[in-house]
């Protein structure tokens, strides 16, 4: 995909070139499931930059050591669907874009994934340590585009194949994660993503249920970490995203065993309380599985070094 930041920037530059002014139509609510195309990209990137303020990260309960594969503080996610019959062509162009980013050594990371469940499409995850890092990546991309016309041309060809696109940003909630010190995207082959929309006023109930879930997994001696993110832009709030990295599909069997142990070990009163929290707090909960595509991704050297056999595939 070449990274949502690049898409935001390129769309803004093209629109200014073609119309002489940015698009001022109102933004629409979007989610990780297919919806209307994101039309207000110049305003979106402006909001991203305005959000680079300390107050957004003050809610973090603890700091996670910065390392390759660690859960990023800021997520930028873009979900795309392509024209019927254009999936193979889109994949080819996405790989061309990723190859160009590697060739020009552009300092902007992105992990591209293909949907295994749910609606067909691709999901691109751009990891950042801060909104300042978003701004730096945008500047690096702008500089690369000014020097390499093939980058702009590749993105234009991808855009021509896109029928629907959704974009959102989310901030890591360290108080709700589970064993995030062992969370490692660099070793993942799949990513299970849960999107929870919570009823307004029930954020505390959601937090209680999530912490209870973590406690039950700890009791079951589950070794599979997850990170929780609170959606900031791109869909109705309050909403949360769970990222669960999987090294193989077998991990799903182990996760299911941990989930079953929670139901088995809980008392009747605990089960009733849990069911009440879910009924009252959750408006919706969607879970999907994505397969990571290293040939469509562009990650740091440290990230590659963690598993070079996977992250350095032979490109065509």
% of the chain with per-residue pLDDT over 70: 75
Q: Residue 151: is its pLDDT beyond 70?
A: yes
**Fold (topology level) of 4-172+293-311:** Alpha-Beta Plaits (3.30.70)
More confident site: 297 or 220 = 297
More confident site: 86 or 59 = 86
pLDDT at residue number 218: 87
Strand 239-246 to strand 122-128: parallel, antiparallel, or no bridges (unpaired)? unpaired
| Listed residue (70, 272, 47, 31) closest to 165, CA to CA | 31
pTM attached to this predicted model? 0.78
pLDDT at residue number 39: 33
Q: Residue 65: is its pLDDT beyond 60?
A: no
Residue 139 DSSP symbol: H
| Listed residue (143, 111, 138, 142) closest to 126, CA to CA | 111
pLDDT at residue number 61: 37
| Domain 4-172+293-311 identical in fold to domain 180-288 | yes
pLDDT at residue number 234: 86
Taking residues 146-170, what's their average pLDDT?
91
Using omega within 30 degrees of 0 as the cis cutoff, is the peptide bond preceding 230 cis?
no
Instruction: Let me know if 34 is exposed, middle or buried by CB neighbors in 10 A (0-12, 13-18, 19+).
Output: middle
pLDDT at residue number 260: 64
Reading the block at residue 255, the tokens are 């996760």
pLDDT at residue number 265: 65
Average pLDDT, the chain: 79
CB neighbour burial string for 107-143, b if at least 16 within 10 angstroms, e if fewer: ebbbbbbbbeebeebbbbbbbbeebebbbebbebbee
**Per-residue confidence at 314, pLDDT binned at 50, 70, 90?**
low
| Listed residue (243, 217, 250) closest to 229, CA to CA | 243
CATH class given for the domain over 180-288: alpha beta
- The residues spanned by each domain of the chain are 4-172+293-311, 180-288
CB 77 within 8 A of CB 5: no
Q: Residues 210-227: pLDDT tens digits?
A: 998 898 888 888 888 999
Q: Residue 143: is its pLDDT beyond 60?
A: yes
Residue with tokens 């909001």, as numbered in its chain: 47
Taking residues 11-33, what's their average pLDDT?
37
pLDDT at residue number 198: 94
CB neighbour burial string for 206-222, b if at least 16 within 10 angstroms, e if fewer: bbebbebbbebbeebeb
CB 9 within 8 A of CB 45: yes
SS (H, E, C) 19-50: HCCCCCCCCCCCCCCCCCCCCCHHHHHHHHHH
Q: Residue 26: is its pLDDT beyond 60?
A: no
Reading the block at residue 94, the tokens are 């996405």
């Amino acid at each position: 995909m070449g990274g949502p930041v690049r898409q935001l920037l390129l769309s803004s530059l093209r629109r200014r070139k073609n119309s002489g002014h940015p698009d001022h139509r109102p933004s629409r609510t979007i989610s990780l499931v297919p919806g209307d195309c994101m039309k207000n990209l110049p305003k979106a990137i402006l909001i991203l930059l305005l959000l680079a303020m300390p107050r957004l990260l003050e809610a973090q309960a603890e700091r996670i050591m910065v390392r390759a594969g660690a859960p990023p503080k800021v997520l930028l996610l873009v979900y795309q669907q392509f024209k019927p019959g254009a999936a193979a062509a889109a994949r080819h162009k996405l790989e061309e874009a990723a190859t160009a980013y590697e060739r020009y050594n552009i300092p902007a990371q992105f992990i591209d994934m293909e949907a295994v469940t749910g609606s067909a499409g691709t999901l691109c995850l751009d990891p950042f340590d801060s909104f300042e890092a978003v701004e730096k990546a945008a500047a690096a991309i702008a500089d690369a585009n000014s020097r390499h016309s093939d980058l702009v041309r590749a993105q234009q060809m991808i855009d021509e194949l896109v029928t629907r696109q959704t974009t959102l940003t989310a901030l890591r909630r360290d108080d709700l994660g589970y064993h995030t010190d062992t969370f490692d995207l660099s070793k993942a082959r799949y990513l299970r993503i849960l999107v929870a929309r919570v009823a307004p006023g029930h954020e505390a109930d959601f937090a209680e249920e999530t912490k209870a879930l973590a406690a039950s997994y700890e009791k079951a001696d589950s070794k599979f970490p997850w990170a929780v993110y609170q959606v900031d832009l791109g869909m109705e709030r309050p909403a949360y995203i769970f990222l669960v990295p999987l090294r193989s599909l077998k991990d799903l069997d182990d996760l299911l065993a941990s989930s079953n142990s929670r139901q088995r070990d809980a008392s009747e009163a605990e089960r009733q309380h849990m069911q009440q929290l879910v009924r009252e707090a959750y408006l919706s909960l969607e879970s999907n599985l994505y397969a990571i595509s290293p040939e469509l991704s562009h990650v740091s050297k440290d990230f590659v070094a963690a598993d070079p056999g996977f992250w350095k595939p032979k490109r065509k």
